[in-house]
A and B are shown apart, each in its own frame.
Chain A
Amino acid sequence: MPQAAVIAGVGHTAFGKLEGRSTVSLNIEAARKALADAGIEKSQVDGLFVKAPTSKFEMMYAQKLAEAMGLMPRIGGVYDHGGASNISMISYAALAIEAGQCDIALVCLADNPATGSRHAYEKSWGDDDVFGWFGVPSGYAMIAQRHMAEFGTTRDQLGAIVTACRNHGAANPHAQLRKPLTLEQYRQSRPIVAPLTRDDICLVSDGAAAVVVMSAERARQLKVAKPVSILGFGQGQTSWEVVQRPTLTSTAAAASAHTAFKMAGLQPKDMDVAQLYDCFSIVPLMTLEDYGFCKKGEGGHFVEGGRVALGGDLPLNTAGGLLSETGMPGLQLVIEGVRQMRGESVNQVKGAQKCIVSNQGGIMHTHSTLILGQ
């Protein structure tokens, strides 16, 4: 068992349209707030892990950011797992700390697709363009269609996830979309790439987030006010394009969760609250299955009856997730997990002591899991 690491501080920018802000500027704002939250100085940071901005790829981006922040880190760099990058980087930071490669790591991401380049969201898939095969929603729609056909998963079951996230986000003052959604409204949502509709698809957002990772011992020495324990983490890389996957309805999320649960010595039933990557409504449903909260094919049934809404057995995405808080790829879910463990969420789950967080990237190409505890 590795020496326990903690998330010592968190920070984020506003979410939505942040006209004229570069990703470097957004990263610095989030980092400044995370350092202040942890109560530490910039000079104490010796690890810098940053996700490649989705909106625009740049060579040596971590070095550009380090210069702008006046840092010469011992370890770090840019990591590209798409939306899974954040938890993957938190994991690598914890491993690096354990191995003596750094003392205090900053993990951050920034993106500006709303006012910068939307290139990454209007994707060409090369030679298959001729068949009209474009974009990211289409791949998730392929997976959703197969799941619905194999297991009888319904639009209303996807709607149970969407309405929960939207209603949770409505209470979050930082959320980009604070418009609650009824199942009746969800049913009227306009098709984009059927079977998925507008309300099944996450927001496009500018914004940044950052977290500070250090050992529990270091947090005690530095008298960090509200450290949250990292109990387990894992990864699973499905990697292949959707068309090439032997199975469309499960992914390496299962391996990722297995590793994380084993490391934490915990099981799905021990989780009090879940922050599951919800770029598309089908994703949390399949994640719940692959994580073992229910059997494969029973995710639709699992989310019915308010189970994932506030007050249910397993409240999901209590700050609104990608469907409501911000479409930013992933770190906002970790930050909400931290708020839940600190007892500071606007939708606080009473007595919550364990939170599971998932990140994933591409079209379920990558996956990483984080288990947080008090």
Chain B
Amino acid sequence: MSDIDLPLPQRTELNAPYWDSLAQCQLSFQRCRRCGHAWLPARTECPSCLEADWHWQPASGHAKLVSWVVFHIAYHEAFKNRLPYNVAIVELAEGPRLISNVVGLTEPGDLTIDQALKLRIELEGDFALPRFEPA
């Protein structure tokens, strides 16, 4: 692990419930009360029906791998000692998609498209991050 701090997310009024929930070991997403659409990251309006009537819902932690890449260059000091590392597009069983890392692998690219993943929450500074591992 690097000694340099990771570039941490900006905590806002809108996304605070997301990060607070992760600190309680729970990944959450927004769901529209009008049309039932579910999404991440935090938005003020439902991108499907455009209403602002939504609530936070806990995710099961079941997910699948949409795609992934392996970084061989560091765009930020904090990642120089982590090379090579993967970044993945993950789709939750409930539908929302997010950028994450798949951990618990021998090699960072030891992955298969559409493979089943499960949530593994890891602490980085004050932030509990939603990472994933093979299910």
Contact = CB atoms under 8 A, between A and B. Distances in A.
Interface of A: 122, 124-135, 138, 141-143, 145-146, 149-150, 190-196, 242-244, 248
21 contacts: A124-B75, A128-B99, A129-B7, A131-B87, A131-B100, A131-B129, A132-B76, A132-B79, A134-B75, A135-B75, A142-B89, A143-B67, A145-B68, A190-B72, A191-B72, A193-B70, A194-B109, A196-B69, A242-B89, A243-B97, A248-B66
B113 interface: yes
B67 A248 contact: yes
B67 A132 contact: no
Interface in B99-135: 99-101, 109, 112-113, 124, 127, 129, 131
A132 B127 contact: no
B29 interface: no
Contact of B71 (A127, A190, A193, A243): A193
Contacts of A242: 89
B124 A193 contact: no
Interface residues of B, number: 35
Nearest to B82: A132
B71 A132 contact: yes
Contacts of B85: 132
Nearest to B124: A130
B93 to A, nearest CB: 16
Given A127-B10, A244-B97, A142 B68 contact: yes
B6 interface: yes
Contacts of A149: 67, 112-113
B16 interface: no
Given A142-B69, A142-B89, A129 B97 contact: no
Cβ-closest 3 pairs across A and B:
A134-B75, A149-B113, A127-B9
B83 to A, nearest CB: 9
A87 B68 CA distance: 32
A242 B90 CA distance: 12
B6 A130 contact: yes
A122 B113 CA distance: 27
